[in-house]
Structure formats: C-alpha cells, structure tokens
C-alpha cells in the first residue's frame, strides 16, 4: 500500500503529474464452527450434531462440502476453511467424539426364589444397569413385585440414551 505518482513529459517538454493511492485489506477472517446441538458427543439420544461455519463469505469443509451448515453422525475431527470477501482465508476445526456403549441390563431377584408359593406369594425384582427402566407391562420403576409365574423383561436406558434388555423367568 502507499501513494504512487508519476510525472509525464510530453514531446514539447511540458509535464503533468498524477498519483494513485493504493490501500490493502489483508485482514484474514476469523473462522469459527458453531455447534448448534450443544454437545460434541454423539450418543444414542443425540445421533447427529449440527455444525455451522462462520466468519466469512464462503466455506469449504474437509469433505469438499461448500455449505456453511453441516450435520455429522460419526466421531472425528471436522475442519472448515473460511474465505473472506478479500480472498483471505482462515481455518477452524472441531473434534466430535461418541459414546454409543449400551448399558448392561440385569434383573436381580430380591426374594431369592423363582417359585411362587403360598408361603412366598410375591417375588421382588429390581432392574439395574441404567438410569431409566421400562418393564414389558410399561411400568417405569426399577423395582417390581410379581405374583404370577411367567417371563418378565425390562428395557434399560443408559445416560447416553442407549438401551439393553434383560429377562427373568
């Protein structure tokens, strides 16, 4: 950048001058990735994460996508190159992890017997291994008392939204 001037001399010896001022705009953009989902962990409850690139007028992700918005469903490092109106670039990245481990569902027989008798008319069961439970009869309490023979099953949900099932006869 600067002021550039020239003096021109004609064949008759007369002169004239002109100048031009050149400025520069070399300021790079500030690339950023906004996590619209609010978490960087993919789980069974949050199977996708929405990302938005910001800071420029055009965007190119590592997979050659040129949209500012992107939805990801796998763990990994996602990067974007942001281009400003002046052609300068900057890059940003975000690391996405996953927690897709299912809980280990189990049913504990608290009574100690699997036989309903006149002396033991009910059997106490407790579902374990998760943060929420749903029995085959739609009951959502971890503890259950049964008074009839049969097979009882429970679906256990972990904190990450993943599920596992167990049954007892």
**pLDDT number for residue 25:** 87
Contact yes or no for 17/6 (Cβ under 8 A): yes
- The reported pTM is 0.76
pLDDT digits (tens, 9 = 90+) for 139-158: 999 999 999 999 999 999 99
The owner of tokens 């953009």 is 29
pLDDT digits (tens, 9 = 90+) for 41-59: 999 999 999 999 999 999 9
Pairing between β-strand 41-43 and β-strand 89-99 as defined by DSSP bridges: parallel
Q: Which of 55, 45, 37 is nearest to 96 (CA)?
A: 37
Q: Which residues contact 56 (CB under 8 A, 6 or more apart)?
A: 29, 31, 82, 83, 84, 85, 89, 90
- pLDDT < 70 stretches in the chain: none
Cα dihedral 63→64→65→68 (10° resolution)? 100
């Amino acid at each position: 950048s600067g002021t550039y001037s020239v003096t021109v001399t004609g064949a008759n010896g007369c002169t004239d001058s002109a100048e031009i001022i050149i400025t520069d705009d070399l300021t790079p953009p500030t690339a950023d990735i906004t996590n619209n989902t609010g978490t960087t962990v993919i789980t069974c409850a949050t199977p996708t994460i929405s990302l938005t690139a910001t800071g420029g007028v055009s965007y190119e992700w590592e997979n050659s996508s040129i949209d500012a918005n992107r939805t990801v469903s796998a763990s990994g490092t996602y990067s974007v190159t942001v281009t400003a109106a002046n052609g300068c670039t900057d890059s940003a990245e975000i690391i996405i992890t996953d927690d897709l481990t299912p809980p280990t569902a189990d049913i504990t027989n608290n009574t100690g017997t699997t036989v309903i008798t006149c002396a033991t008319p009910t059997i106490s069961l407790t579902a374990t291994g998760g943060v929420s439970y749903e029995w085959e009869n739609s009951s959502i309490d971890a503890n259950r008392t049964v008074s009839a023979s049969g097979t009882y099953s429970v679906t256990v949900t972990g904190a990450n939204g993943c599920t596992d099932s167990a049954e007892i006869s």
